[in-house]
Amino acid sequence: MTIKNNVTRLLESQGIPYEAIELPVEKLSALEAASFMGVDPDLVYKTIVAVRLTGGRSILALVPAPHEVNLKSLAKAVGEKKIRLATQREAEHLTGLQTGGISPLALLHRNFQVVVDDSAQVQEAIYISGGQRGLDIRIATEALIKITKAITASISR
């Protein structure tokens, strides 16, 4: 039976097609998730939580599994001079989700700014966390950007 949660119910209520993929419930890296699903790691996007040094909205940066967030590029994309990565504990506190299950789709009404690496724009669909450990969602890139009101920028290296 496919996992149902707030993310899958939201997508269904909005009429947004998706594919839910169940994974082991232990914390997997995005690379491990790609391997488990048998998909190209460049199609699996991990969600990284970043914090503005000036206060204000925290940032959810989505980058391909094999890449890291470029903090300077991310700061520039959101109009800041500097930002920092949240610690695992901060990320879980800010989002209310466990690391390995942080998803922009689960946080639509939590006032995060979403930035998707522009590499996603060449992909028809990408895989992201489904809002809990053990669930990834394959969603059309365009639909993800639209529903999360994301901006796209070159934010990975």
Question: Does any domain span residue 1?
Answer: no
Which letter does DSSP use for residue 108 in this model? T
Which domain does 123 fall in, by range? 6-153
41-97 pLDDT per residue, tens:
999 999 999 999 988 899 999 999 999 999 999 999 999 999 999 999 999 999 999
Cα-trace Rg, the chain = 14
Span 102-119, pLDDT tens digits: 999 999 999 999 999 999
**Does residue 28 lie in a domain region?**
yes
Q: Is residue 111 in a domain?
A: yes
Domain count for the chain? 1
Provide the pLDDT for residue 12.
Answer: 95
Which residue blocks in the chain are alpha helix, DSSP H? 6-13, 30-37, 71-77, 88-95, 141-148
26 in any annotated domain: yes
Answer whether residue 37 is part of any domain: yes
The verdict on residue 51 lying in a domain is yes
In a domain, 60, yes or no: yes
Supply the CATH number for residue 62's domain: 3.90.960.10
Q: Does 1 score more than 70 pLDDT?
A: no
**Distances in whole angstroms, Cα of residue 40 to Cα of each of 45, 71, 100:** 11, 25, 18
97 C-beta neighbours (distance < 10 Å), count: 20
Strand locations in 23-124, DSSP E? 45-52, 59-64, 83-85, 113-117
Within a domain: 69: yes
Q: Any idea what DSSP says for residue 124? A: S
Percent of the chain with pLDDT over 90: 90
